[in-house]
Copies of this chain bind each other. A is one copy, B any other.
Amino acid sequence: MAGERIYLYDTTLRDGAQTQGVDFGVSDKLALAQALDQLGIDYVEAGWPGANATDDALFAAPPALAHARLVAFGMTRRHGRSAANDPGLAAVVNAGAAVVTLVGKAWDFQVETALGVGLDDNLAMIRDSVAFAATRVPEVMFDAEHFFDGYRANPDYALACVQAGLDAGARWLVLCDTNGGTLPDEIAATVAKVAARIPGDRLGIHCHNDSDTAVAGSLAAVRAGVRQVQGTVNGLGERCGNTNLISVIANLVLKLGFDTGIDSDGLKRLTHVSRLLDERLNRTAAANAPFVGASAFAHKGGLHVAAVAKDPRTYEHVPPEAVGNRRAVVVSDQAGRANLVARFRELDLEIDPRAPALGRLVELVKEREAKGYAYDGAAASFELLARRTLGAVPDYFELISFRVLDERRDDAGPQPITLSEATMKLRVRGQTIATVAEGKGPVDALAKALHGALAGVFANLADMRLVDYKVRIITPEHGTGAVVRAMIESADAQGRRWSTVGVSANVIAASYDAMHDAVTYKLFRDGVRV
């Protein structure tokens, strides 16, 4: 089987768009279709012509694709209409796409209960629709919805549905596990039975992740004979998502040695394509995503780090660079010198592993971590700490004092009234600057006061914004008197993102320290002089 060609079919832009809260615009669809094309995907299903304005606009001015074939998705004709007289079907076959995929039901229970149609009528709907589309476009596929549930309930009928699509001229018959409930072994056994009647190079698989086994189910189908896999980037899709095509590709190529049409340069784009989708959706990328997540090759324990330094195969199942990802060495309380030296290399800081300053930094990191600092998620604060210890980072500004007042009155009306006001004094370039600001809460007021004080001095701070703010309690046994850790993520117009940390028994003071690092990092990175 290794070396055989497996065709890849991406449905991020159609089935992925069914996800709760996901709403692609035309420009998102264009950007993603092009990225999928560059990756080397065979089929890019871009939408359902006639179903909504976005998809109509997309097919009216389709993306220029170098390799991939653009697919228009639709449904078989309605009961009681001829294929030629069904406006929904007409919109799909006339959309200008070279490939049309039509979905129809393959489970007797669905046909009779959900659709309220006779079993023979459903077969005729499949046959007529596929045959009609085949006269209009070069390539037609039939998606057999609920195929595995259908096969379990009535194998002869499920097979008859697929056979109807084949007889009517479909290039591919795609076996769909629409409800996501079929486990890999059953998928493999069922596909093997189908492949005994219909050649595997005419069969595709379309899984959903409701059982947490969609990737394995798709690989099981390939082992049993199918030669097309459908899925979405990052497993986007309604409920628990579709098959994660990123994981399928990496496994097919790197583990099983199949030919997916994606070469080693394409494979290196997997991480980029995964993150591009999250950026388009304005979502935080899942750090634990297999192959492409920021933590997928993160090593925390000192023992692991030392072993990976000796030979990466000790703790890495594939080389991170093969999928365009990279090794992340995490600084934690087990921080040894090996961790720190590896971290420095990532920051382009070359340092002799035996340098005395390194020993001081190891001690400093340990001491700070014992106080509650955490540098796993606060790389910018770590970098500042390291550079301050090893070289020099300017003190751009110094706090003289701040005062924050929070007030709540429950007796002034039907809703409580709250007020937060911060006053701040800073020393900047020899001057003393005092500001006052109101906010939604004490930290918001303080952030506004800080930026108000610095905005006039450092113009480049104008494009900096706060994108995440987290607080956690380090010593919960001390209750409200506990030490808290504030973490801040910032971003700027150049697309950089950085995280900083502050620790104190006072949440406001901890937040101030994280803000201080965030602003200092921005000024330092931009090369600002004191």
Contact = CB atoms under 8 A, between A and B. Distances in A.
Interface stretch (A65-73, A158-166, A180-188): A180-188
B311 A113 contact: yes
**Copies held by the complex:** 2
A26 B113 contact: no
Contacts of A479: 444, 447, 465-469
Given A317-B179, A439-B480, A239 B444 contact: no
Contacts of A140: none
A265 interface: no
A240 B476 contact: no
B401 A404 contact: no
Decide if the interface of chain A is mainly helix, strand, loop or mixed: mixed
A508 B407 CA distance: 9
Given A211-B290, A473-B469, A476-B25, A481 B401 contact: no
Chain A interface size, under 10 / 10 to 19 / 20 to 34 / 35 or more: 35 or more
A462 interface: no
A309 to B, nearest CB: 10
Contacts of A210: 290-291, 296, 317
Interface string A313-325: 1111110000000
A270 to B, nearest CB: 12
A489 B299 CA distance: 33
A235 B418 CA distance: 41
Interface string A484-522: 100001000000000000001111110110000000000
Contacts of A211: 215, 247, 250-251, 255, 290, 317
B282 A472 contact: yes
A297 B476 contact: no
A130 to B, nearest CB: 21
A131 interface: no
B398 A441 contact: no
A261 B177 CA distance: 30
A197 interface: no
Interface in A426-478: 439-444, 446-447, 465-473, 476-477
A411 B406 contact: no
Given A216-B217, A400-B410, 7 more contacts: A212-B291, A213-B216, A406-B506, A406-B509, A443-B480, A467-B479, A507-B507
